[in-house]
Amino acid sequence: MGVSRASIGLYWSRSKPNFGDALAPLVVARVSGRAVRWAPLWRADLVALGSLLGRVGEHWWQPRLHVWGTGFIAPVAAHVTRHRVHAVRGASTARMLGLDPAAVALGDPGLLVDQLLPPLHARPLQSGTLVVPHYRDRGHPLLSALAALPEVRVIDVFTPPLQLLEAIRRADCVLSTSLHGLIAADALGVPNAWVTLHDQLRGGHFKFLDYYSAFDLAPEPSPLSTALAGAPGPLIESWARPGLNAIREHLYRAFPLR
């Protein structure tokens, strides 16, 4: 399928205003310098952020898509893809597409969200611990209890994406059950930890570990209540994402539609 000169046809999920889906057109527009429009999979040019590869068919009659940094939500049988793969979220996704992880750019393009905010000319006033829940966790009773604590802020993941990014940037540290809450914190240099409220998330830990494999990390999540019981100092001091700048550079260079 030819790519429109006027705009890029990008597929993202519109069934709910999820954080990663809301970021996708913003990141693609920033990196490409072009207008971005939503397109259904059968008319799209590109899939990017998120766990969308399970929706991308491999039938001969479907258009070949450009794949940039997306991944699977759960393990699938390894197969050789017919699509144009420029980057994938992590090593597990690469192997499931019949690719050598060392031969393709790895990382979620959400790592480029720092380019969406104006530069800071002074260190922002920090706002304590920010909890970024997955949208399925919004009604959890623990979150309501946390909202009453002065040193903890719970933010709705359906907050407009640039406002949510700014809140993350101003936090001392982030605890998140949302993958893109963690990715945004990594991109903005904010110490963060992967936490859980239950074990019923679709795909389990797969997408998180796939993402972290780009850093050669394999962390284990902590229950949110356990993470909050500890002082934030050790988290802030120990947080590290080895190779972050190189991953971002590889993602930027791998973008196919400038």
By the 8 A CB rule, do 169 and 161 touch? no
- Name residues of the chain where pLDDT drops below 50: 1, 4
Is residue 236 located within the same domain as residue 131?
yes
Write out the DSSP string of 232-249: HHHHHHH---TTHHHHHH
Is residue 91 located within the same domain as residue 201?
no
At 121 the pLDDT is 62
Is residue 32 located within the same domain as residue 104?
yes
Q: Which H, E and C letters describe 174-211, residue by residue? A: EEECCHHHHHHHHHCCCCEEEEECCCCCCCCCHHHHHH
Is residue 152 located within the same domain as residue 218?
yes
**Number of domains, the chain:** 2
Is residue 100 located within the same domain as residue 165?
no
Is residue 102 located within the same domain as residue 156?
no
By the 8 A CB rule, do 65 and 256 touch? no
Is residue 41 located within the same domain as residue 146?
no
Is residue 76 located within the same domain as residue 102?
yes
- Residue 53 half-sphere exposure toward CB, CA atoms < 13 A: 30
Q: How far apart are CA 19 and CA 142, in angstroms?
A: 21
Residue 24 belongs to domain spanning: 7-113+247-254
| Residue pLDDT, tens place only, 8-57 | 999 999 887 689 999 999 999 999 999 999 999 999 999 999 899 999 97
β partners of residue 174: 130, 192
Any domain includes 2: no
At 125 the pLDDT is 63
Is residue 131 located within the same domain as residue 43?
no
Is residue 104 located within the same domain as residue 53?
yes
Any domain includes 1: no
Describe the strand order of the beta sheet including 129-132 as a list of residue ranges.
152-154, 129-132, 173-176, 192-196, 222-223
By the 8 A CB rule, do 197 and 142 touch? yes
Is residue 94 located within the same domain as residue 135?
no
Structure tokens at 31: 């990196």
Structure tokens at 11: 């597929």
Q: How far is CA 195 from the centre of its chain?
A: 15
